[in-house]
Amino acid sequence: MNGVRILGLIGIIAPYFSSCGDAANASENISGRPASIGIVGDTADVVKPVTGGVALIGGGGNVDGAFKWMIARSGGGDVVVLTASNNGGYNVDIDSLGEVNSVETLNITSRELADNDTVAQIIRNAEMLFIAGGDQSRYMNNWRGTKTAAAINYLLTEKKAPVGGTSAGCAVLSGLYYSGEGGSAVSDSVLANPYDTLVKVYNNDFLQAPYLSRVISDQHYMKRGRQGRHVTFMSRIITDYGIFPVGIAPDEKTAVCIDENGIAKVFGVSKAYFILTDSLKKPELCVKGQPLQWNCNGEALKVYEIPASATGNGSFRVSDFDTAAASGGTWYWWWVDNGVLKTKQVP
């Protein structure tokens, strides 16, 4: 069937198997492609010229502009979607937004599958990769240190293909990342105790996206009021690792698309935030059982807010977080006073 655009058989029947908890086995038995839960398009592999880039999507729904941006950088090649939650709905969505050779979803739910040579080769052959939402602790626990992680890093650092992720998939793309183990941290709780057991942040031990080694991202930002927990994560990184991080945070249905030169634009319907720390402005109090204090005279963190547009708005230089190079947005000061996050616009 090479050369013919198809909806792979497993993409049709996998939902029926998944109700019995056997989707992964069904895909391997039917298609000979471990972890595959569906293919749309030409089953023959192609090689296309690619242009690097990373799309950080805030969850809550697709951002068509971000997918189109990645597709344009894929050269129309093969797209691979990764999930650990049997999320097979992206194949048709992505295929409908541009000319690509194929879209295939891999449901990688175990370290055994993540270390499978065929799975890793499918990822390496991709001209575009997208990591779906779900639970980022599954990605960390099942993929970190495996051939799947090595294949993703190959796309990011050597092949330089476009790679994106939404929600949990966005979380693991930054070098510094929040794992979500044990449950989702809530702003008010962790501001009151930055050493809450739900605050677990890891330092560059998983994926290696260009320009993101010092970044920690967060998602569903305004919708779920996550500004406070994001600031708490950053306070812990300073306290525990001695690193002064920067933050990128898209709201729902919003994407930060970073090109090969480290220049970001914001696609979608809401806003995204770029957060800077200062090595001269450490948290005054970041200890277990006490409210976070990070005041610095009301100027602890400098934050750039960019409203999104369908075709990409604003510009922010993620390569160095140069404040003078930012455009299309508004600057704010953020600070924490006795466990309460406060903000004001920079005059």
Question: How does pLDDT run across 186-245, given as a tens digit for each residue?
Answer: 999 999 999 999 999 999 999 999 999 999 999 999 999 999 999 999 999 999 999 999
Average pLDDT over residues 147-167: 98
Q: How confident is the model at residue 5 (pLDDT cuts 50, 70, 90)?
A: very low
Structure tokens at 279: 């090595």
CB count within 10 Å of CB 117 equals 9
What does the angle CA 67 – CA 70 – CA 75 come to, to the nearest 5 degrees? 125
261 contact partners, CB below 8 Å, separation of at least 6: 319
**C-alpha to C-alpha distance for 40 and 7, rounded to whole angstroms:** 5
| Residue 105 pLDDT greater than 60, yes or no | yes
Laid out side by side, the sheet with 246-250 consists of 201-203, 176-178, 215-217, 246-250, 271-276, 301-307, 330-337, 340-345
pLDDT value, residue 6: 41
pLDDT for 3 beyond 50: no
Mean pLDDT of the chain: 92
pLDDT band at 14 (very low <50, low <70, confident <90, very high): very low
Residue with tokens 């051939």: 147
Task: Name the amino acid, one letter, at 340.
Answer: V
Please give the Cα distance from 221 to 282 (Å, whole number): 24
Confidence of residue 23 (pLDDT cuts 50, 70, 90): very low
- pLDDT tens, position by position, 113-150: 999 999 999 999 999 999 999 999 999 999 999 999 99
d(CA 296, CA 281): 6
- For 250-273, b/e burial (b = at least 16 CB within 10 A) is bbbbbbbbbbeebbbbbbbbbbbb
If one compares 87 and 145, the residue with the highest pLDDT of the two is 145
Task: State the average pLDDT over residues 96-103.
Answer: 97
Q: Is the pLDDT of residue 10 over 50?
A: no
Strand duo 246-250 + 215-217: pairing: parallel
Q: How confident is the model at residue 31 (pLDDT cuts 50, 70, 90)?
A: low
